[in-house]
Amino acid sequence: MSSSASPPPLWISFWMLLTTFIVSWDAGYCLMRPRSFSGGDLSWIWKPYNDFPYGEIDHLYGWKAFNERDGFTAAQALLNIVEILLAVDYLYLRHISPRDKRLQKYHAVAPLIGFAGAVMTASKTILYFLQEYLCGWCNVGHNDRRTFWMVWVIPNGTWIILPTIVSIVLGRYIAAALERDAIYSPASNSLPPAEFLAGKSDTTLTEEPTQLSAALPLTFHPRALSVLIVGSNRLAATRALSFLEADAKVFLLTTSEVVVKEVKELEESGRISLLQSAASNSVVWSELLAKHDISLACVTDTLISTPSRRSFASATVIYQTCLSLHIPINISDQPLLSTYTFPSVHRFAGADGPSHLQVAVSTNGQGCRMSGRIKREIVSRLPADVGKAVDNVGRLRTRAKARAKISEEDDGPLNTPVPQLSTLSTSRPNSDGEVTQQLSEEEQQLRRMRWVYQMSEYYSFEHLAKISNEEMDKALEIWGQRDEGYLPHHDAKVANASEKKGRILLIGSGPGHPGLLTMAAHTALRTATLVLSDKLVPAEILALIPDSTKLHIAKKFPGNAEGAQNEMMELALEGAQRGETVVRLKQGDPFVYGRGGEEVLYFRQHGFESTVIPGISSALAAPLMMGIPVTQRGVAESLVLCTGVGRQGKAVQLPGYVKSRTLVMLMGVARISQIIEVLTCSIAAGRDGAAYPPHMPIAVIERASSPDQRVILSTLEKIQPALKQVDERPPGMMLVGWAALALEGKGRVDVLDRAEDCEVEMVESWLAEGQEGEIKGWKIREGLNDEWRGILNGII
C-alpha cells in the first residue's frame, strides 16, 4: 500500500469501536464469574445476560461450564482482551496517532493491526462454532430451533462475517505495500518495465513505449518552495540555476564528495544546500523528502555521460516514492519515469532587465537538442522588443484594473457587441455646457479591460513596446459619442478652411497580408507624415510605415466604437490643418463597412476633400483565399453582402434564403448565435424572406491571408458546437450558401439542378470528404499553403 493511498474506510473504524465495547462487556462477564451471575454482587453490570438468561441458552456462559471447570470460556475471554487491545490500537493509529501528514506512516501500521485483530476475531469465533459442532452441540443443542438460530447462530455468525470482510479490505492495503516493496526494491531482480507502470506486467525491462500520453504545458512558480536535485554533474548545476532564478529553495543531493566546479561554487556562495546520502529504498527516500519538505524533485545522474550513472532500478524507486507523495519528479533520459519535463526556455529582454515573456519548447523527453533548435527558430522570428511589449501590456492591465476587481473571463468573446456609450465621456460637458451622466467605476473598468484585450490582439509589438505611461493613461480614457457624431470644438474651425495646408487620404489595406496591398496604398504609407490606423490593420502592414512617421491606432473596443471614430476624425483634421499628409488606414476597402463615407463628408464639411484609395475587400478576398467562390455557375448566381452588427450595436435586418444566392456577412461572428436563430427560425422577425434550411453550409473565415488563417466549415445547425472547440481568431467573417462546398474535392457545381431531398446527403458527403475516423459535423483548414506563401512573399 502506498503511503499516499486513501485511508481505510470509516465503517471499519465504527465496527472496531462497536466491537471494543461489546467484547469488553462479554469478556468481563466471563472472567468475573460467579460474581457476574444472577445474584452476584456484580450482576447488575450484566443484567441483560442474566435477565435473558443467556447462561441457560449457552451453557459455556452458565453454571454448568463453571461447575465443570471448563477452561474454554475463560480462555476465550483472555483472547477477547487481546482482540480489544488490537481494536483500540487500530483506532489510535488510524485517527489519533501523531504523524507526518505527508508520509502518513499510520497507513502502513493501522491496516496491519486492524487485519490482525479481524483475523483473530473471525478465527476465535469459528473455533467457538467448531467446538460446539464436534461435541455434538453439547452446550446449545438443548434449545428449540428458533432460539438456536436467532439467539446463538446469527449473533455469533456476525462476528465471523464482518471480521472476514474487514480482513479482506485491510489485507488489500497490506498486499499492495508488500507488492510494491518486492517489485521496487533496489535489491530485486524484478524491476518495473515501462508498461508495468501503466498496469501491464507482461513486457521486458528494456522496452519503452512508442508513444506517451499528451503532456499538459504549465507555467510553474516554485517561489519559496523546496526543490531537490539529485546529482552533482553540470546538468544538476544548470537545473539549480533555473530553480534559483524562479526563487526556489534548492537542495542538491550527491552520493559522493566529488562534485563539479559549478555545484561547488553554488554551495560556497550559500545559494544551495548540499546533501550527501546513499538512500537506497523507498523508506529512506520518503524520510529524506519529508525532512526537507520537498515540493519538486529532479534526478540528473541518470545521464549516459555520468561516471557513476544511477541504475534504472534506483531511479524507479525514487520515481515511485515521489509519486506516492504527490511530488512532481523529472528523471533525465527517462521520460516514462517523469511526471514533468524541462522545456528549452528563452526569456526576452525588457526595458529594465529580463521581461516577463518566456518562450518554452518541449519535446517531452524525445530530444532536448531539437527543442533548443526549434526554440531558436521561434525566437529569431519574433521582434527583439516583444518582451517590452508584454511588460507594457501587463502595466496597462494593472492600470485598467486599478480600482475595480474585474474578471478577465466573464466578458465573452473578444469582439462581443456591447451598447455604445451615449455621452462624450464620463465627465465631459456636452454642447450645452451640461455635464453628462457618469458611468460607474465598474463600468469604466470593464470597458478599459476590453480595450486592453483589443490592444493585445491588434496592436503591433513595436507599438506596444514603445508606449509610455502617459500614452497608456490616454489610451484608457473612456470616450463617448455625441448624437451629431462630431466633437464640439471642431465647429469653430469650419470657417477657416482657407487655412488648410495638408491633405487626407483614406486607404484600404486589403484583407491583411502586405502582399495584397495596392501599390498606391503602399506609396501613400511611405510618404505620409501621420498615419491613423484602425485596430484591425495587421502589424505586418503597419511595419511598412517608416519609423519617422507618427502612428496612432484607433481605440475601438466594444462600447467605445463611436467615441474612437470621432477621435480619429478629430486627429486627422488637426493633422491636416497643421499641413501634414494624413493617412486614414482602414481594413479591407474604405467604402465596404469601413465608414469611409462618413469621414469623406466630415472632412468635406471642415474644408478638406479627401482622396480615397481602394483596397481589396475581405468580403471577396477571404473566401477566395479559402478556395470558396462567392459566385459559381450552377451553384451561386448572386451575392448579398451585409453586416452582422448595425449602428450602436443593434441587430440588422437579414436577407432571406434564396438557393442560388451567397450571403457574405462581415462583423457577425460574435453574434453568430442570434444570427443563426434569425436565419433559420420559421418566424420571419429580423429576416426578409424565407428561412434558411438548418443543413445549409456555412464557412467561418478568420484572419484571411495571414499565415494563421483558418476556415471552419459546417452547417447552420452544427457550426456553434464547432466554434466552441477552437480558440477565437478575430477578425472573422461568415459565408452562408452552397458556394461553400462548390470547389471542395472534385467539386459540386450542379447544386441548383439537384432536388431538395438530396441536399442533406450532399452536405454529409461534403463534410466527410477528407476526414478520417468519426465525422464531427464540421471540418477545419488552417494556414497558407506553400504556393500562397511564396506568392505573398514575392516568390513566384
Cβ-count burial of 87 within 10 angstroms (0-12 exposed, 13-18 middle, 19+ buried)? buried
Could you tell me which residues are beta bridge partners of residue 369?
Answer: none
Q: How far is CA 728 from the centre of its chain?
A: 15
- A 10 A CB-CB count for 555 gives 22
558 Rama sector, left if φ>0, alpha if ψ -120 to 50, beta otherwise:
beta
The answer to whether the beta carbons of residues 246 and 223 sit under 8 Å apart is yes
Question: 745 vs 442, which has greater pLDDT?
Answer: 745
Residue 789 has what pLDDT? 81
DSSP at 423: S
Q: What is the mean pLDDT of residues 564-575?
A: 91
Q: Cell numbers 450571403 correspond to what residue?
A: 663
Residue 207 has what pLDDT? 42
The lowest-confidence range among 23-37, 448-462, 531-545 is 448-462
Tell me how far apart the alpha carbons of residues 665 and 147 are, in angstroms, rounded to a whole number.
87
Backbone dihedral angles phi then psi of residue 133, each to the nearest 5 degrees:
-65, -45
Tell me how far apart the alpha carbons of residues 405 and 119 are, in angstroms, rounded to a whole number.
60
The answer to whether the beta carbons of residues 630 and 655 sit under 8 Å apart is no
Question: 795 vs 79, which has greater pLDDT?
Answer: 79
Residue 370 has what pLDDT? 87
Could you tell me which residues are beta bridge partners of residue 666?
Answer: 643, 733
The answer to whether the beta carbons of residues 666 and 735 sit under 8 Å apart is no
Q: What is the mean pLDDT of residues 662-670?
A: 90
Residue 183 has what pLDDT? 47
**What is the full DSSP assignment across 308-369?**
TPPPHHHHHHHHHHHHHTT--EEETT-GGG-S--PPEEEEEEETTEEEEEEEEE--TTS-HH
Q: What is the mean pLDDT of residues 234-250?
A: 91
| Closest C-alpha to 577, from 486, 491, 498, 489 | 498
**For residue 437, is pLDDT > 60?**
no
Residue 424 has what pLDDT? 38
**Cis preceding-peptide flag for 335 (omega within 30 of 0):** no
**For residue 12, is pLDDT > 50?**
yes
Residue 164 has what pLDDT? 94
**For residue 179, is pLDDT > 70?**
no
pLDDT digits (tens, 9 = 90+) for 191-200: 444 444 444 3
pLDDT digits (tens, 9 = 90+) for 108-137: 688 889 999 999 999 999 998 998 899 889
Tell me how far apart the alpha carbons of residues 621 and 611 are, in angstroms, rounded to a whole number.
23
Proportion of the chain above pLDDT 70, given as a percent = 84
The lowest-confidence range among 353-357, 402-406, 779-783 is 402-406
Mean of pLDDT over the chain: 82
Domains and CATH numbers, the chain: 10-184 (no CATH), 226-342 (3.40.50.720), 346-382 (no CATH), 388-475 (no CATH), 488-618 (3.40.1010.10), 625-791 (3.30.950.10)
Residue 488 has what pLDDT? 33
pLDDT digits (tens, 9 = 90+) for 345-373: 888 888 888 888 989 898 877 777 888 88
pLDDT digits (tens, 9 = 90+) for 476-535: 765 333 333 333 333 334 334 445 479 999 999 999 889 899 999 999 999 999 999 998
Q: What is the mean pLDDT of residues 252-264?
A: 86
**For residue 628, is pLDDT > 90?**
yes
**For residue 551, is pLDDT > 80?**
yes
Lay out the sheet containing 581-586: strands in order across: 550-553, 530-533, 581-586, 503-508, 611-613
The lowest-confidence range among 85-94, 270-279, 409-418, 742-751 is 409-418
**For residue 462, is pLDDT > 50?**
yes
Angle between helix axes 154-184 and 312-324 (nearest 10 degrees) is 140
pLDDT digits (tens, 9 = 90+) for 129-171: 998 899 889 998 899 989 999 989 999 999 999 999 999 999 8
Q: What is the mean pLDDT of residues 241-251?
A: 92
Proportion of the chain above pLDDT 90, given as a percent = 33
Residue 412 has what pLDDT? 52
Confidence of residue 456 (pLDDT cuts 50, 70, 90): confident
Q: What is the mean pLDDT of residues 535-544?
A: 87
Q: What is the mean pLDDT of residues 757-783?
A: 83
The answer to whether the beta carbons of residues 677 and 752 sit under 8 Å apart is no
Could you tell me which residues are beta bridge partners of residue 635?
Answer: none
Confidence of residue 685 (pLDDT cuts 50, 70, 90): confident
**For residue 724, is pLDDT > 90?**
no
pLDDT digits (tens, 9 = 90+) for 291-347: 899 999 999 988 877 777 888 888 999 999 998 889 999 998 888 888 888 888 888
Confidence of residue 401 (pLDDT cuts 50, 70, 90): confident
**For residue 714, is pLDDT > 90?**
yes
* CA distances, 257 to each of 233, 264, 277, 288, 788 (Å): 12, 10, 10, 18, 61
